[in-house]
Amino acid sequence: MLYKISVPQVADVEEIRVLEWHREAGEAVEKGDLLVELETHKAIVEVRAGQKGFLRKILAESGNWQAIGLPLAVLSESESDPVPEDAQALTDLPVDFEIT
Partner 1 sequence: MSSKPAAAVQKMFFREAIARAMREEMRDNPNILILGQDVGRFGGSYREFDGLFEEFGADRVRDMPVAEAAMVGVGVGAAAAGLRPLVSITYMDFMMLGFDPLINYGAKLRYKTGGQLTAPVVVKTTAGAKGQGVAHSQCIEAWLMSVPGLRVVVPATPADAYGLLKTALRSDGPVVYVDHKRLFPVAGEVPIEEVAVPFGSARICRPGTDLTITSHSFMVRTALEAAKLLEKDGLSAEVIDLRSLAPLDMKTIVDSVGRTGRLLTLEEGQITTGVGAEVVTRVIEHLGPIRFARVGALPAPISSNRVLEAACLPDAGRVAAAARLLQSPKKLVSSC
Give the one residue of 26, 27, 65, 88 binding partner 1; rule: CB under 8 A.
65
Note whether 15 binds partner 1 by CB under 8 A: yes
Note whether 12 binds partner 1 by CB under 8 A: yes
Instruction: Using DSSP, state whether 89 is helix, strand or coil.
Output: helix
Q: How far is CA 95 from CA 3, 4, 10, in A?
A: 11, 10, 12
Nearest CB to partner 1, comparing residues 63 and 82: 63
Give the one residue of 20, 26, 27, 42 binding partner 1; rule: CB under 8 A.
42
DSSP string, 22-52: SS-TT-EE-TT-EEEEEE-SS-EEEEE-SS-
Binding site for partner 1 (CB under 8 A): 12-15, 17, 40-42, 65
